[in-house]
Structure 1
Amino acid sequence: MAQREFRQREGVAPRADATLAEFLETMPAAFCVLDARWRFRYVNAEAERLMGRPRARLEGESLWEVFPDLVGGVVETGYRTAVATGHPLTFEASFPGGREGWFEVRVWPGPDGLALYVLDVTDRRRAEDAARRATARAALLSRVSAELSGQRDTLSALGRLAELVVPVLADACIVTLVDREGRARDVGSWHHDPVRRPLIDRYTQVRLATLPGTSPVAQALQSGTPVTESVGAVLRLMPDGPARELLAALAPETAVVLPLTAGSRTVGVLTLYQDRGRGTTDEDMDTARQVAAEAARAIARVHRHSQQAQLAEALQRSLLTDPPALGETDVVVRYVPAAEAARVGGDWYDAFLQRDGSLVVVIGDVVGHDTAAAAAMGQLRGLLRGIAHYSGAGPAEVLHGLDEAMARMHEQTLATAAVARFECDGSGGGVLRWANAGHPPPVVLSPDGTVTVLGGMLGDLMLGIDPTASRTESTVPLPAGATVLLHTDGLVERRGSTLDEGSAALTAHLRELAGRPLETLCDGVLHRMLRGTPEDDVALVAVRLARAPRE
């Protein structure tokens, strides 16, 4: 007591109080003191500026009455937790209804109330946020590049592009492609809000049919330049109907449409939707343009591959002629190209008559999957046909002649082939004479539904390895109405399945299809075995002998 009185008489305490007051008034952080009833007891100058109210009006007022927007939020939770536990607490928050930004809040509870220290950390938070967004944008570009350049199925990767873009660049995204005929179609969409994903999915199914020519999407497609527009303006352009209702339900604030340009063509658009309160920075737009450029290059590759596939398929089909007309004996041929663009290869079929009138059918496959294999196939097919027609020889001798010719004229070519000659007896039946050079074996389907696989699974040595190799020729009787099927390996080989399993499946399907017209049987076999577009080319030739005449 005496010491305190001495300091007061000598003026020590007043000078300390003045120094403390000056420090609090000039400190760059807001500082205030609340009593046990949450009323302001002290507010420094920075707190006055931060709260935007004169301290004379704040002192003695309840925090919750002056700032009702704080009730129920993270600030109230933090303050009351500190008071309840009696421990200091630090957290970061923004203040609803107050100054925009982020603040570090430190709370010290005491027996008579609460001391608050508030420091503006907006610049730090913005720097950290900018760094996070920059990292996210870099990761996005890397992933987009990997997805679009590394996928065998580029169209599927483009459909998933919207999932990559959201939420890094937008709250929602739609990817639109334009095919070589100029038709636009939406191939992918995504929304950051799971509740709205079904809405945007339905919107993509109907929007292109109803968007007017003045819409941002139409403008970007026509001009090849980016278009930014408020969604409110877009809604005013759209006619009443499901598309307008769905866009209104999605409720984005703005739409940014970026053209996907390859050369001089616009091959699609990327539509980015931003919800209310989200802005698009220059860095975001630069990243979006890079994503659009990567997508455009991917679409251009799809177009090139499609064009190459069409040209290659046209080449291969041009080398496969129609079978001869044989009266009551039916001959059906089929060729199905592979799913992968430009995977045209060396599969071929043939059916022709030798000089004595015997029907010869051939199935073959040149090793390789490119236009070179298709060209080699055309030459081998012509060679085999010429050898068989001129010589009149049986299947084994025809294959031997082709093997010898390949050794001299096509020494770098490898191929498999099966040749079958039908020797009819005049009563509808006859004998099938056949030879196999490393090809899947012929299959015979009897009128009663019995299926017979001829020979082993591989046959003799394939063509192009040893022209002196011996060739085995076999015969099998054929009843009237029998069907003989020759096919390439693409019909029975599948990734994840064995050749034996594929052959067993073919046998089962032939039994089920027995008795159907030959065209129907061939189409049914392809439908059941391929389940869509095959991984490899498929060729087949089927012959059905005339049924025995009724007595």
Structure 2
Amino acid sequence: MTEMLDSGTAAGLARAELRTVLGDAPVAVLVVDLATSEVVHANDVAVQLAPDAELPARLDAWGRSAGLQDPSGVELEDTHHPLSRLLRAEGVPGQPVTALRRSEMGESREPLWMIGIPMAGAPMLDSHALVVLLSVVEEEAAAAAEAIVHQEAQLRQRAVLATGLSFTVADAREPDCPLVWVNPAFTASTGYAFDEAVGRNCRFLQGEGTDRAEIARIRAAIDAREAVVATVLNYRKDGLAFWNQVTITPIADADGVVTHFVGVQTDVSGRIFADRERDRALHAEQAARAEAESAQARLTLLAEATEAVADELEEAGARERLLALIVPDLADSAALFQLDSQGNVTDHLARHRDSAMAEETDRLAGEIRDLTPPGGLLRALLGDESIRLVSDVGSDAAREVAQGFVTDPRYLDRFEATLRVDSSMIVGLPGRDSIRDVLVLNRTADRPSFTTDDATLARELGRRTGLILENLRLYVTQSRIAQTLQRSLLPILPELDWLDVDARYLASSDDAEVGGDFYDLFEYPDGGIGVAVGDVEGHDIYAAAAMGQLKGLLRATALTQRAMPAAILEQVDQLVSHRPSGGVPPESTSRLAGSRGASERREPDRLATLSFAHLEPPRRSAIRLGRPSSRASSATSFRVDSEGGVADEPLTVQPAMSRVGLGDAAVEVLGEQRRRGPTWTLTLSSAGHPPPLTRLPDGEVVFLDPPFAQGPLLGLGMTRRRHDATFLLPAGSIVLFYTDGLIERRADRSDEAEQRLIRAAAGAPEGLGAFVDHILAELVDTHPGDAAHDDVVVVALCLHEEKVEPGVETEPGTAGS
């Protein structure tokens, strides 16, 4: 390798690597009396190299004591020994050697770089030479040194000069430690000639940019007669600044008195600038990484907060989750204020990272309601802005601004003292048209004040959560309106003399709490009873509105026309299928719809199922159930004798049957007591609705489901005739009307739903209320996850054999809605 290096390569290696020789490594320094060839002074490091040599010692003897060899391991001969050349005043511009190191671990050789310089012209040291042994701390430096030794003397001289090493000797016995000698490299690096430097303290190299603390450290080491390594900013004679790394070593005489300080100096400006550039790049990289991590944290917080709030269906829960994410990730404490349209506080929520401070934080937030200034809290806190950053809460300027936040200035003192607030951020949570929520975030002095990045995050967080909270408010408002509408459309059940009624409405499992299921029960002037149970498609406010219209049409038609159920359904179907929108003639609807927004267009007609029944209580004399309707030729009329029997022999029903179908007969008599006991007359027509169920007094359960009484759904606009079916029911029977939400389940077979209802009705206890409770418990409460997402309406009637006197208790739990 050595033979392959040319002079240019060797010089390059020297320049690149020998700068690492000096560093913070210890430097061995000898002062040699050339006249006597003796080492007269040695610093501590040199003593460690040759611990057995007693000064003064001959130079070659000292070298043998230190175990000096050339890099190849050959003992140095007198003729070629660098120290011998030094004694001939030849100088040693730079030569690699090794020294023997002894320790408890054994012996090893340490590579060194030797420089020897005669100190010609130095006062009192004119016949002396300086020997410096530098530790080679890198393999590349050792290789460079080994390469240099094989080059010409001129090349070695250039290599040494390329290291930038300069040497100085200062007199430690003089008060100001003046320089007594400098080498030519010092003049080359500083611009000061020998005569300009000698006799002066080396502080003439300092300037306004020199670090005074570092100079004080050097001065303290000199006063203590200790070695020191320092890097200071020095200035050349022409004013050019350079970074100078100085190693100052005390030299003692035989009595141990420090007589001189030897300075080894090198220009490390390139390294300093490289280090600074590296530090700058590292700092920039760290700053970029910190910013990226901070941005990622902000995005994570933003995403988590948005997701958490969006997952809630109630405002209170959304606010709780929002504050739980903000504190402590973004703030030490926070308060969220709800405002009305005038900006007044209607409610608040507060949170503190320290649970022990939760009560005080909530109390302070609660006081704001009564301290809101005129114009509302929103105007006081934000004015026309959407966010306000107060980074110095305790300053006079911040307090002056804060005076407008509340009507009692003493509140600010309590606020700052209790929560130890150092910076605050006030954020409006805007909806589509206004701000109805204000978020106040606080930090203590234990963490950095809010920044513009925090403000950007808070603004975006406020924008997102403000819309979510507004949507929740709109949902709650719409839900309340829908519930109010739904309840207003449910009838108030009349008090009837002949029967008990238990009616229930259960909202669907999707929490809509409004839909198209309905029921109605009313009494005719002649004592007859009308019962209707229906289901308009949909589970929204439009379904509820359509349901209300259908129920009104049904009741009005039934009470004014006094026709049989089939005729009533036909007329209602015509009104539902052909009604105009808002009084606008049908032919103009399409023309107007094209010129209006989608939100103003007519809601399309909805289909509906409906089961409508007419009941007549038992009579002691013959009565006529109804008159034939001109609209329904199928309406049936018949007479009942005084015992409750039927004049014409009816079709008998086998007790084992669970479904009653009339076939060609017009009247069906149910129960074994059909000729002996009081009998109710029920006439029924259906528009695609599930059939009612009856539990007879003897426990038999049957569906009232004659095929010819089942007609098409309402709203289809069909002109097909509808038909009635009439049943005679013994007193004591329970008749159950319901909507399909009671029995329908996912993946049911065709008959499973009805069989499930039959089993529940057969096993229900006595008493109308208990009967309905059992039905709902078995079909709705027991398997809620399997239930269809639909509303449930149940209307149960218990048919008495005679009038119930006012004030007489019949059975518990029979009234309900």
Distance 1:256 1:407, change over 3 A: closer
Distance 1:343 1:521, change over 3 A: closer
Larger Rg: 2
Question: 1:304 aligned to 469, 474, 494, which one?
Answer: 474
Q: How does 1:186-335 map to 2 (within 5 A)?
A: 186=349, 199=355, 203=358, 208=362, 211=365, 213=367, 223-225=380-382, 237=414, 256=425, 258-260=427-429, 262=431, 266-267=436-437, 269=439, 271=441, 276-335=446-505
Shift of 1:231: 12
Find the counterpart in structure 1 of residue 566 from structure 2. 396
SS in structure 2 of the partner of residue 309 of structure 1: helix
Question: 1:443 aligned to 680, 693, 717, which one?
Answer: 693
SS in structure 1 of the partner of residue 164 of structure 2: helix
Shift of 1:344: 3.7
SS in structure 2 of the partner of residue 18 of structure 1: coil
Q: How does 1:370-449 map to 2 (within 5 A)?
A: 370-409=540-579, 412-426=605-619, 429-445=679-695
Looking at both structures, which has the greater relative contact order when contacts are Cα pairs under 8 Å and sequence separation is at least 6? Answer: 1
Question: 1:461 aligned to 684, 700, 712, which one?
Answer: 712
Shift of 1:151: 7.1
Structure 2 contact 519–793 (Cα < 8 Å) conserved:
yes
Give CA-to-partner distance per residue, 1:412-467, whole Å, 9 cap, x none. 44111111222332566524333332234423355677665554999653222252
Structure 2 contact 765–774 (Cα < 8 Å) conserved:
no
Find the counterpart in structure 2 of residue 366 from structure 1. 536
Task: Quote the Cα distance in structure 1 between the aligned partners of 2:527 and 2:215.
Answer: 106
Q: How does 1:103-252 map to 2 (within 5 A)?
A: 119=279, 121-138=282-299, 140-141=301-302, 157-162=318-323, 165=326, 169-170=330-331, 183-184=346-347, 186=349, 199=355, 203=358, 208=362, 211=365, 213=367, 223-225=380-382, 237=414
Shift of 1:174: 6.7
Find the counterpart in structure 2 of residue 25 from structure 1. none
Task: Quote the Cα distance in structure 1 between the aligned partners of 2:559 and 2:328.
Answer: 68
Find the counterpart in structure 2 of residue 65 from structure 1. none
Shift of 1:326: 1.2
Distance 1:20 1:391, change over 3 A: farther
The alignment status of 1:15 with 2:161, answered yes or no, reads yes
TM-score normalised by structure 2 residue count: 0.44
Find the counterpart in structure 1 of residue 800 from structure 2. 546
Distance 1:137 1:405, change over 3 A: same
Task: Quote the Cα distance in structure 2 between the aligned partners of 1:513 and 1:178.
Answer: 52
5+ residue gaps, structure 1, are: 23-45, 62-116, 239-243
Shift of 1:15: 3.2
Structure 2 contact 313–472 (Cα < 8 Å) conserved:
no
SS in structure 1 of the partner of residue 609 of structure 2: strand
Distance 1:272 1:543, change over 3 A: farther
Structure 2 contact 577–714 (Cα < 8 Å) conserved:
no
- State the one-letter code of the partner of 2:766: G
Find the counterpart in structure 2 of residue 99 from structure 1. none
Structure 2 contact 507–790 (Cα < 8 Å) conserved:
yes
Task: Quote the Cα distance in structure 2 between the aligned partners of 1:52 and 1:527.
Answer: 94
Structure 2 contact 517–792 (Cα < 8 Å) conserved:
yes
The alignment status of 1:515 with 2:799, answered yes or no, reads no
SS in structure 2 of the partner of residue 303 of structure 1: helix
Distance 1:218 1:540, change over 3 A: farther
SS in structure 2 of the partner of residue 401 of structure 1: helix
Question: 1:480 aligned to 720, 728, 731, which one?
Answer: 731
Distance 1:210 1:154, change over 3 A: closer
Distance 1:393 1:119, change over 3 A: same
SS in structure 1 of the partner of residue 457 of structure 2: helix
Shift of 1:281: 1.7
Distance 1:489 1:549, change over 3 A: closer
TM-score normalised by structure 1 residue count: 0.61
Task: Quote the Cα distance in structure 1 between the aligned partners of 2:749 and 2:444.
Answer: 51
Task: Quote the Cα distance in structure 1 between the aligned partners of 2:736 and 2:220.
Answer: 98
Task: Quote the Cα distance in structure 1 between the aligned partners of 2:449 and 2:703.
Answer: 69
Q: How does 1:30-49 map to 2 (within 5 A)?
A: none
5+ residue gaps, structure 2, are: 1-69, 71-79, 83-91, 95-114, 117-152, 168-184, 186-208, 228-276, 383-387, 395-409, 581-603, 620-676, 805-817
How many residues are aligned here? 453
Task: Quote the Cα distance in structure 1 between the aligned partners of 2:315 and 2:220.
Answer: 66
Give CA-to-partner distance per residue, 1:320-369, whole Å, 9 cap, x none. 43233212422344445568787743332111234543211101122234
Structure 1 contact 485–541 (Cα < 8 Å) conserved:
yes
Moved more, 358-367 or 463-472: 463-472
Structure 1 contact 144–294 (Cα < 8 Å) conserved:
no
SS in structure 2 of the partner of residue 389 of structure 1: helix
Give CA-to-partner distance per residue, 1:34-76, whole Å, 9 cap, x none. xxxxxxxxxxxx9x99999947779999xxxxxxxxxxxxxxx
Structure 1 contact 429–548 (Cα < 8 Å) conserved:
no
User: How many percent of aligned residue pairs carry the same amino acid?
Assistant: 27
Give CA-to-partner distance per residue, 1:500-525, whole Å, 9 cap, x none. 88777777776776334549946994
Task: Quote the Cα distance in structure 1 between the aligned partners of 2:751 and 2:364.
Answer: 53
Distance 1:465 1:474, change over 3 A: same
- State the one-letter code of the partner of 2:464: E
Find the counterpart in structure 2 of residue 98 from structure 1. none
Over the residues paired in the alignment, what is the CA RMSD in angstroms? 5.7
Structure 1 contact 227–256 (Cα < 8 Å) conserved:
yes
